[in-house]
Structure 1
Amino acid sequence: MSRANQAKLDLSALRHNLAHARTLAPASRVMCVVKANGYGHGAVEVATALDPLTDALAVACIEEALELRENGITSPIMLLEGCFESEELVIAAEHNFWVMIDNQRQLEWLEQTRLPAPVTCWLKINTGMHRLGVSPGDAAAFHQRLLDNDNTHGEIVTCTHFACADELDNPMTSDQLQQFAKVTEALPGPRSAANSAGVLAWPHSHYDWIRPGYMLYGNSPLKTTHPNTTGLRPVMTLESAVISVREIETGETVGYGANWTAQRPSRIATVSIGYGDGYPRMAANGTPVLVKGKRAPLAGRVSMDMITVDVTDLDEVNIGDRVVLWGKDLPVAEIAQRADTIGYELTTRMPARTPRVIVER
């Protein structure tokens, strides 16, 4: 028998979340972001489910894009970080990969490389993130050079990326939108600004293309509640099972470092999952898990292969009982907060050791 830890995937929830994004931005085309192995869910599985329904897909680099093409994905695929060397432009032209242009070197490669066919280009404009993108003052010149380039196919999409859209009371998003609108006002072609947070909470950012990522997997990027997040359905349920149950006395400790001490006679369940399986090592004592559908607190430090849970207040708990670490009734964001991180990290760092199992197509 194999270990019980599994990341169960509900692909019907994935499609539901895409439909929700379209409902929120009905006039926009959709580019579904499946980088970082589909945010840890499995890029091929995710892209296969989205391929017939999306207008384009997006990944970080050409290796991720090639994996999708090799597995039968036919949608246009955007390289969000552009090309890292000129030879990649040839591959992009051969496989209908769209390329992001965000600096002078990438533009020169496009102008100087002989391609088998023109490529679709997006131009990223830096409006305050200061990570990628040309300066607002250079945007018009870059845009014109792309239009004049025989290696460029179709319209040029101008885009930007938000720094603080997950913080609804932060004025920076409005400032970025104002700057983006001003810079692109005289530039022909479609525009794109909305990431998941933009799709959910900043309707003025929807423009011609939206780029949902994290929300597709059923998780909210927003730091506060918002009515538009209630329509999201988690795709991943991380689960395992109880492999041992023991009684301990008041004053006895549990786990490495003995950092949890029983304040009463207690019942401790050991669960077959740990940081080697993607559960965060820094999850604090008291972090909730679901044992047989009911909350119970983590008791003791997370090990590589196991966690220990205080099940004293639950009805009878036995070896083999199902344990959910995050999913529909236990948001990954709640676990991430207890581990001083974000849900993005928890899902994207899910190792191959934890099998992805499709339970709903």
Structure 2
Amino acid sequence: MSTGHLTIDLSALAENWRALDAMTDVETAAVVKANGYGMGSGVVARTLARAGARRFFVAVAEEGAAVREALGPGPMIAVLSGHMDGDADLIRDHDLTPMLNSVDQVLRHVESLPRRSFGIQLDTGMNRLGLEPDEWAALRDVALKQMPVLIMSHLACADEPDHFMNQRQLTAFLEMTAGIDVPRSLAATGGLLLGKDYHFDVTRPGIGLYGGRPYENAKPVVTLDLPVAQIREVAAGESVGYGNTWTAQRPSRIATLAAGYADGLFRALSPGIKLYDGETPYPIAGRISMDLITVDVTEMDPERKPEVLTLMNDIQGVDALADVAGTIGYELLTQLSQRYKRSYIE
């Protein structure tokens, strides 16, 4: 094996969806954007459809087309960026449902694809996507006559349960949708965990399906094994890697692994993370470079010559790595390289 091996546990993925679904009395959708958070949108969507999901959310129409090809007809595939200029053919040919975000998008959709399915996204305070309250007030009656299939908004601070913004956005969403007989959706993973007031008619978990916070009880979905290219002896006083940031304090053994920041393993991960041989951890020695990682395996039995060491597993999950890198699990998962061989287990 010359590249890393990403193993994706589809049974854990499905179990995470079922567990989140069981927390509500409403429909549970699934977010499969960014190529299924780096895991393969087609395989992920099929797995979640078998688990019971009937609505899927993607970021852009091109992603929606790929998911439709994987799922076939039937499930709703919602496009969060809405109906962008030039999307009409993809929306029509793949039966996608754009979440319209602006007056221009509403006009574009109604004019180019009359009587085609669409939803509305409202801005309740995040100031990123969606119709603002004054726009919605002016457009509401006209838009509702076109029969949208969903009205949604998105929470800015749902991963912080006590943040004032959650209640502020909930109040705004209730005010903007009062008296409307259309299914509503406000909660992604974090919002779902905030409780029933945020559930409305459809929840749409994303990161929680893939093993990440804020769903602390999520089952790990990803294991990442990295191939050992070489194990070498290093004398006390010799340094390893760029910048001489690690110097051997004793005669040491260094394993060089074939992976690096070109594979989505951020250089900032260099201090503090471990590579595992089974359940035994070994620290990184020096900086992560573009294609290589060096690991101090001095404590390993010198007769043992493992073919791989494991970076991501049940012990050191995606959030533990993200914490070291000063980022979030979403970023780490979606940056996982296409160089990795991917395999799926049921």
Q: Does TM-score exceed 0.5, indicating one fold?
A: yes
The answer for the alignment partner of 1:145 in structure 2 is 142
CA 114–287 in structure 1, closer or farther in 2 if over 3 Å, else same: closer
Amino acid at match of 2:234: I
- Residue 117 of structure 2 corresponds to residue 120 of structure 1: yes
Which residue in the other structure is 2:227 paired with?
Answer: 241
Write the deviation string for residues 23-50 of structure 1: whole angstroms up to 9, x where unpaired: 112x221221111111100111111212
Q: What is the aligned partner in structure 1 of residue 40 from structure 2?
A: 42
1:270-322 Cα offsets, whole Å, 9 max, x none, are 22222222222221323222223212211111122221112234445733343
Corresponding residue to 1:191 among 184, 188, 192: 184
1:32 alignment counterpart? 30
Contact persistence 2:29–2:205 (CA under 8 A)? yes
Please, what TM-score do these two structures have when normalized by structure 2?
0.92
State the Cα distance separating 1:217 from its structure 2 match.
0.8
- Provide Cα deviations, 1:116-172, integer angstroms capped at 9, x if missing partner: xx22222111111100011123324433212223xx4xx542211111111223211
Aligned residues: 344
Equivalent position SS for 1:161:
coil
Answer whether contact 2:123 2:153 (CA < 8 A) is retained: yes
Residue pair 1:59, 1:80 contacting (<8 A) in 2 also: yes
* CA root-mean-square deviation: 2.0
Give 3-state SS (helix, strand or coil) of 2:281's partner: strand
- Deviation string 1:190-226 (CA, Å, 9 cap, x unpaired) is 2111111112344421110101111111111x3xxxx
Residues of 2 paired with 1:245 and 1:192: CA distance? 53
| Whole-angstrom CA distance in 2 between matches of 1:3 and 1:166 | 38
Measured in 1, the distance between the counterparts of 2:246 and 2:84 equals: 48
Of the candidates 175, 183, 187, which is equivalent to residue 182 of structure 1? Answer: 175
SS for the counterpart of 2:267 is coil
Q: Is the CA contact 2:45–2:71 (under 8 Å) kept in the aligned structure 1?
A: no
**C-alpha contact 1:245 1:318 (8 A) present in aligned 2:** no
Amino acid at match of 1:128: G
Q: 1:312 aligns to what SS in structure 2?
A: coil
Match of 2:59 in 1: 60
1:82-126 CA deviation, whole Å, 9 max, x = no partner? 1112x53354244321111110100111232254xx222221111
Aligned residue identity for 1:280: F
What is the aligned-residue identity percentage?
A: 36
Counterpart of 2:82 in structure 1 is 82
Rate the CA distance shift 1:91–1:250 in 2: closer, same or farther, 3 A: closer
Question: Equivalent residue for 1:260?
Answer: 246
CA distances 1:223-242 after superposition (whole Å, capped 9, x unpaired): xxxxx622x11221111233
- Does the aligned pair in 2 maintain the 1:143–1:187 contact within 8 Å? no
Shift of 1:61: 1.1
Q: Secondary structure at the match of 1:47?
A: helix
Distance in 2 (CA, whole Å) between partners of 1:198 and 1:317 is 51
Deviates more, 1:46-55 or 1:35-44: 46-55
SS in 1 for 2:333: helix
The letter for the 2-side match of 1:312 is T
TM-score w.r.t. length of structure 1: 0.89
Q: Which amino acid aligns with 2:139?
A: F
Establish whether residue 131 from structure 1 lines up as the match of residue 124 from structure 2.
Answer: no
Q: CA contact under 8 A between 1:99 and 1:119: conserved in structure 2? A: no
Query: Separation in 2 of the partners of 1:259 and 1:158?
Result: 53
Which residue type is aligned with residue 299 of structure 1?
A: A
Residue deviations 1:45-77 (CA, integer Å, cap 9, x gap): 111212232121111111111122233433211
Please say if residues 243 and 320 of structure 1, whose CA atoms lie closer than 8 Å, have aligned partners that are also in contact: no
- Superposed counterparts of 1:149-298, under 5 Å: 149=146, 152=147, 155-220=148-213, 222=214, 229-230=216-217, 232-298=218-284
Equivalent residue letter for 1:99 = P
Asked if the contact 2:183/2:201 (under 8 Å) is kept, the reply is yes
- 1:225 matched residue in structure 2: none
In 2: Cα distance, 1:44 partner to 1:69 partner: 8
Whichever residue aligns with residue 212 of structure 1, its letter is P
Do the aligned partners of 2:3 and 2:339 also contact (CA within 8 Å) in 1? no
Residue 101, structure 1, aligned to residue 94, structure 2: no
Task: State how far apart, in whole Å, the 1-side matches of 2:88 and 2:142 are.
Answer: 17
One-letter amino acid of the structure 2 residue matched with residue 258 of structure 1: N
